Amino acid sequence: MKLDPSVYVLIDPDQTFGHEPVALARAAAQSGATLIQLRDKRGAIRPAIELARAMTAALAPLGVPLLVNDRVDVAMAAGADGVHLGQDDMDPATARRLLGPRAIIGQTVKTAAHVAALPPGAVDYAAVGGVFATLSKNNPEPPLGLAGLALRIAALKARKAGLPVVAIAGIDAGNAGDVIRAGADGVAVISAVAKAADPAAAVAAIRQAVDKAVEEARGAR
Amino acid sequence: MKLDPSVYVLIDPDQTFGHEPVALARAAAQSGATLIQLRDKRGAIRPAIELARAMTAALAPLGVPLLVNDRVDVAMAAGADGVHLGQDDMDPATARRLLGPRAIIGQTVKTAAHVAALPPGAVDYAAVGGVFATLSKNNPEPPLGLAGLALRIAALKARKAGLPVVAIAGIDAGNAGDVIRAGADGVAVISAVAKAADPAAAVAAIRQAVDKAVEEARGAR
C-alpha cells in the first residue's frame, strides 16, 4: 500500500483506555488516519500475531496500511503492510530483505549517526521522537520542542532529501499544525486518540489541523 | 539440510562456561553432533542474529544444520536451517509458511493436547523435556525418568507414527543409551557439552553411547 504518514495513529493494547484495539484502529482509519501502527509491548507473540491479523483484516478494506512495531516476525505472520523499527530492533536492510520491496519500513532516528546509518532504499520514513512531553513513554531526555524539532528535521532532510519524517511524543490536535510547520511530513499520536472519549473525533481534529498547516505551507511557497 | 536428531547439541551463549559459542558449535559438529541449536535467551535481536549468522557460516561446511530457538525472525535473518519452537512461540503452521518446506521445524510437546495439536506436516520432530533433573532450566514438574519417558514417547508415536522424538534435560554420555532404549530417536544436551573441559570429547562420548544403543536396538529386532 502507498505510504502517507501525515496522520499516523499508534495503538498500544496496554494503553487503549477502555477502547477495543481493533475498533480503535477502524475508527481512526475511518476518521482520517493515513497509517496505523500496532505497538504491542506485551511480549507474547501469539496474542500479538492474533491482534495484528485482526487489525490487518479491519484496515485492508479501508486502504490504510498497518505497521507492526519492532517485530518483523509478527508482521510477516499477520500479513501486515510493514514494520516500524527502533534502533535495537532488526536492522532495516535485513528487514527489507525479509519483507520485500513493497513493505513499508520506518525507523526511529535519534542521532546524526542514526541518520547517516540509514541504508539506501531500506527505510520509507524516519520518525523523530521526544518532540513534547508524553505520557506514553519514559523519555529520559528533555523534549526537543518545536525549534529543536525543526533543526532535527532540517538536518535529516539535508542528509536524506525526500525521506518523509514523522514526529512523535505529546502531539495532539492543538499542536499538530505547529509540528507540520516545523517541517514534519506527518504527526504520530497515541494518547491523543486512545485517551479521547471519542477517538474518531480526536483523529478528525488532528486530520483537520494537519491539512490546514499543509495548505498554508503550500500557499506560502 | 537433512534432519538427523540423534545427537542434538544446544548452545546457550549465557551458559557456555567460558567456551566461545561458535567454537563450541564447530567442535560439537566435528565430534559427532548431528544437529545444533542456538538457544539465545539474552533478549536482544541484533546480537542474536549476529551469533546465528556466525554459527550458520561455521556449520554449513560441516553439513550440520543450525536451528534457532524460539525466534523465526532471527532464523530468517541469519539464514539458519530452521527453528525450535516452544508452546508459547509462533505456531508451527505459520512458521512453516514463513520458513518454507525445506526448513527444519521442531516443537516441544508436554501434554497429549500438544501432540494432538501438532499440525500435519508442519513439524519435523518433537522434543520431550524434563527427562532427568537439569541445571540448564527451571522445571517445576518432577523429572519423567526413563519409564515416564518411554510411556510419553510411546503415546506420542501412537498418535504421530514416524515423527522423530528427541528427549531433553539432564542427559549425558552416562544415560544417553538408556534414553535411546526408552524409545527416543535422539538426545538433546546442553550442560553435558558446555560444562565439559573438553566439549569435543563429551560429544564424542555421547555419540558413542547413542550409536551403541541404536545398534543394540537393531540387533534386538
B34 pLDDT tier (thresholds 50, 70, 90): very high
- Alpha-carbon separation of residue B204 from A8, B61, B62, B197, B210 (angstroms): 57, 19, 16, 13, 10
Diameter of chain A by CA atoms?
A: 49
Binding residue per annotation — A190? yes
For residue A49, list chain B residues with Cβ-Cβ distance below 8 A.
Answer: 90, 94
Question: Which CATH number characterizes residue A76's domain?
Answer: 3.20.20.70
- ipTM (interface pTM): 0.91
Nearest to B73 among A44, A46, A72 (CB): A72
- Examine the pLDDT at B105 and tell me if it is beyond 80: yes
In a domain, A100, yes or no: yes
Write out chain A's pLDDT in tens, 221 residues.
789 999 999 999 999 999 999 999 999 999 999 999 999 999 999 999 999 999 999 999 999 999 999 999 999 999 999 999 999 999 999 999 999 999 999 999 988 889 888 888 899 999 999 999 887 777 778 899 999 999 999 999 998 989 999 999 999 999 999 999 999 999 999 999 999 999 999 999 999 999 999 999 888 76
Cell of B67: 536451528
- Examine the pLDDT at B221 and tell me if it is beyond 80: no
In a domain, A1, yes or no: no
Closest CA to A118 of A97, A95, A92: A92
Q: How far apart are CA B194 and CA B18, in angstroms?
A: 9
pLDDT for B51-87, tens place per residue? 999 999 999 999 999 999 999 999 999 999 999 999 9
Per-residue pLDDT, A112: 82
- For chain B, what is the domain count? 1
- Examine the pLDDT at B106 and tell me if it is beyond 80: yes
Per-residue pLDDT, A175: 97
A73 touches chain B (CB under 8 A): yes
In a domain, A2, yes or no: no
In terms of residue numbers, what domain contains A46?
A: 7-220
Chain B residues 87-146 with a CB less than 8 Å from chain A: 88-91, 94, 98
- Alpha-carbon separation of residue B188 from A107, B27, B36, B128 (angstroms): 39, 16, 9, 10
B93 pLDDT tier (thresholds 50, 70, 90): very high
In a domain, B39, yes or no: yes
- Examine the pLDDT at B47 and tell me if it is beyond 90: yes
Binding residue per annotation — B185? no
In a domain, A210, yes or no: yes
pLDDT for B142-163, tens place per residue? 899 999 999 999 999 998 989 9
Pairing of strands A7-11, B125-128: unpaired
